[in-house]
A and B are shown apart, each in its own frame.
Chain A
């Protein structure tokens, strides 16, 4: 057995585990031999790591880093990256500029893990000129990123990895598969007897209860935006980790957590994120989409 992955037997299904993209990753497979489960899990891990290596902003040997160091010159990207940039451009448009992959620089001042320290208004305002998809030039496949700006594909990457893994494993198996990368999910088809996969929900209020509830996923993607453990408290106001790229401040009155069910994990994730960025309007936005969702205020 490979140390990088673990295979366990669950209740009527197999579980393949590994770690990638700073998250626990699970592959649930209904009917297959142990050997097949092992093979599929290895394949999944390979794909997850490929995407992580290619698009992580923490590495200095990948495309994101090369773009960062292109010194404001036009940079030619490969087809896969270009597809993701097209996608990001459309999401920017569809969200009226609220979803913006250049907003990552805000992390320089917003560190949600470090207690209740808030950045100063001045520090935030200094960052704003370095944010805005409309400030860079994207003429597929040429990207011109002004110096000082950064790209962060983290808001798309994990969901993309889930969908890609599902596609890849689907080429090798006809079983019902559930891909779960840190809570971003995709089920290839219903389980035997048209049964759904059952996923326990995390507790966004952090009350210590193990499960707030269960979600049932028969087929398609599901993703959650919002994280109960990442927030700042100041003067009784809870600042979530969803930042508005236009103000540099967390979105006010945003729900604690939003889960969306959509045909793919990428759509689910994007709709959850854009909904979160609506703040108070999240519920209304989600209703207009006509897809199943779960919202925790």
Chain B
């Protein structure tokens, strides 16, 4: 467990480092074209996300993180 958790942690660190290059800058309303795109939303594919959550919920001990509620299920 301890060893395995290092993999995602190091990947996250790598990602944050790669983002370090583009620090915070104010984004004016007319510069929000990219942010407004469907594919740029926090949940870009709601139906895929919904199904993934359903599958992982029924196969693993962990759940939640993205929001509150969500249908209970006898599958777990």
Q: A and B: real partners?
A: yes
Chain A residues engaging chain B, CB cutoff 8 angstroms: 82-83, 86-87, 90, 140
CB neighbours of A82 from chain B (8 A): 29
Task: Tell me the complex Cα distance, A83–B28, Å.
Answer: 11
Name the 5 nearest CB pairs between A and B, nearest first.
A86-B29, A86-B30, A90-B30, A140-B29, A83-B29
- Give 8 A-B contacts (CB < 8 Å), ordered by A residue: A82-B29, A83-B29, A86-B28, A86-B29, A86-B30, A87-B30, A90-B30, A140-B29
Q: How far is the CA of A82 from the CA of B28 in the complex (A)?
A: 12
CA distance A90 to B30 in the complex (A): 9
Closest to B28 in A: A86
Chain B residues with CB below 8 A from A140, complex form: 29
Q: Which residue of B lies closest to A82 (CB)?
A: B29
Given contacts A82-B29, A83-B29, A90-B30, 5 further A-B contacts (CB under 8 A): A86-B28, A86-B29, A86-B30, A87-B30, A140-B29
B27 shortest CB reach to chain A, Å: 12
Contacts of B30 in A (CB 8 A): 86-87, 90
Bound Cα distance from A140 to B26, whole angstroms? 14
A140 to B27, CA, bound (A): 13
**Binary A-proximity of B5-48 (CB < 8 A = 1, otherwise 0):** 00000000000000000000000111000000000000000000
Q: For the complex, what is the distance from the CA of A87 to the CA of B30, rounded to whole Å?
A: 8
Nearest Cβ on chain B to A288's Cβ, whole angstroms: 21
- The minimal Cβ–Cβ distance linking A102 to chain B, given in whole angstroms, is 20
Chain B residues near A83 (CB, 8 Å)? Answer: 29
